[in-house]
Structure 1
Amino acid sequence: MNTAPLAERIRPIELTEVVGQKHILGENKILNRIVNSGRISNMIFYGPPGTGKTTVANIIAKKTNKSFYKLNATNASLNDVKEVIATTNTLMGMNGVLLYLDEIQNFNKKQQQSLLEYIENGKITLIASTTENPYHYVYKAILSRSTIFEFKMLVKEDVIKGLKRGLTIIRDEIKNDVIVKDEALDYMGEVSGGDLRKALNGLEVAIYSTPPNSHGEIIIDLNIVMDSTQGKILNYDKSGDSHYDVLSAFQKSIRGSDVDASLHYLARLVESGDLISICRRLLVIASEDIGLAYPNAITIVKNCVDSALQLGLPEGRIPLAQGVILLATSPKSNSVICAIDRAINDLRNKEIGDIPAYIKDSHYSGAEDLGRGIGYKYPHNYKNNYVKQQYLPDNIKEAIYYNPGNNKMEEQFSNYIKSLKDLK
């Protein structure tokens, strides 16, 4: 019996057998055309695990006359790369070398740079794969010389299609009839998280751990696959690219007042145990996206965050959900972040000039001799605690940074300031 994992035994040898990735592998799609042309260029495959990156690289290797080498950057060294490069000057490398470098994000800059010279002269054709965003982890000189293809997470239907193919292989290998209930296949497709390799491993465990019945049938039902497969593994890494994708979707959903989507992404973060990121992002959102449209939001959210940090998870999910629902259903205004960013932009890009002398610190002996505080009008000595005077430096005295948002609260603030300025 073949002892290789099922995922390896059913690995496609033709592009038509690859499940999913129709956006790049479908008929007349770009990667399909490149592979069938036989003229292979440097490529980077980017996407979650179990989506076909290694499979497609193997198919490409079989369609070229180049010598094929495979390294995994997790455990490969610079010496391993040098050994591959050395073959370019031998008979084995006379037609060029195709190097498949898996998990390239684990190579440091020096290791990646060592490939450049040989990528440039065409002696090495590089196909690298990564589960992380290549724009964050791959050396820019390699990016500029490569075509990037994103492998997307498989949908449930794609995973089930792959499972059925695996089931056909197993049926050919063993003497017993194998019957997998539809609800069992559906469950494996659902909890796989788009990872076909994970789903196939679960199917194999379920089948080989289940004894045949009196009729010689191995029947796999929902209870068996639930017992044989792990729970759903989320595509989330606190230090990886998906971390920022989930947080971005979380904030944008709250900003868009979609309370259900907001709770969905909160659930992802809660399930990953990423309590600190949730708390920091909620505090930011309270000022960045709600701001003065509902000034009390940040106070309430701060209390929710403090409660969550004190409780920890899983109980902390409850005050966090309270904060999320509050923010998602609150009126929105970005006037606060726009105001401070305009002020910072002037500070960085303009000659702003000096602070007016009359509002400089004058609480020390000799300040008056320097002209500090002379002519300052103390607002509390005037009607309504307001008096018109210049506070900004001369060079930017007409600058306007705060533009009130279009909401009831900020309209009240705006009307109050206007009423002061209209006073004679």
Structure 2
Amino acid sequence: MQHLKTLYFDCFSGISGDMILGTLIDLGVDPQRLIHELEKLNVKDYRITFSKKLVNGISGSDVAVELTSDHLHTHEHKDKSFDHQHHHSHHGESRNLEDCTRIIASSNLSEWVKKHAVLVFEEVARAEAHVHGKSISEVHFHEIGAIDSIVDIVGTFIGLELLGVEKVYSSALHDGNGFITCAHGTMPVPVPAVAQMLASSERPIPYIQEDVPTELITPTGMAIIKTIAHDFGTLPRMNVQRIGYGTGKRDTGRMNALRGILGELQEECARDQTVLLQANIDNQSGELLGYSMTRLLDKGALDVFYTPIYMKKNRPATMLSVLIKPEDEQKITKIILAETTTLGVRAFRCPRYVMRRDFKSVETKFGAIKIKHSFLNDIEKYTPEYEECASLATKHQVPLREVYDAANYCILNQQWSNISK
């Protein structure tokens, strides 16, 4: 049984960047360690504060990022619906994707934090570019490019890393309704960027509108949860260890907070989502089908296989099956339509269960050979890597079987030279 440190976000009152950060603090992230890591961004002119706050009688953590530079806004918003739920005081200069990426890439943060923070900014950039009919390079972030949102996004991944979270799940996303006023004027809820992120998702993201006349899901919050959530739905089977609340800034008429449930996922098999594409082909040669398989595998297909079938008019034919990642569906479908004679492609959502795996190495008389180690509870499998065995067989001019025998002897006697994950 694998026990993965897992965090479940219960988005019963929406989600935003600072609410995520508050939740992580409430779950045990040390504020001083967070500040220390954020200093690696080399971004100045802001101050971050942490406080406890009661919301509907429930204690949670509030995180606020305030600008301290001269470009801080001095005007007030009289319309109570104006704030696009930024949740912070005010924003400074706007930045584009290149600016935000440069700030993150030039920092001394861990590669994991930098990689995932950039993914969030790219998600928002794609949505904003689509909404405004611009290229990604032309998009300037108003909210997302401000210092407070940069701190929210980067701080989220710092917090996840400090907590040792290995997997994130989320509930359905609850939003309000009506209209809000932001930098682009009066906008419907969900705001266009959030709506586009929902529409562009390769997997279904459950979305529910509540009778709350304002925005509950911000672009920052939407981009973060879309990027980090392994799946959306009810709480997975897990040993719950800690509960935390990140509080919102406004009175919405109900409990305005994000709940985080931290624990260990009880997972016997790893599970991921795949898509199975299929097409029936009765008028294409074996040479062309062989080429199609090569192209599909080169472009990222997880598996490609052919099945003999009979079609209408008693024609012997071939069914092409391609297993892919959800995000590759459009790309791979186009290749199938271009490289084969089929006029249509079927798509099926396929949850996939896989044994966990790592790699070990053995030292044989022919040389080092990498061994794939697959495991589930008391089930273990060891498989010598074919390419390395074949290369050594060619090098030493011996039958491939002898190289396999040498590798399997080391496996049987547990003679590992090292372990590499």
**TM-score for the superposition, normalised by structure 1:** 0.27
**TM-score for the superposition, normalised by structure 2:** 0.28
Of structures 1 and 2, the one with the larger relative CO (CA 8 A, separation 6+) is: 2
Higher helix share: 1
Higher strand share: 2
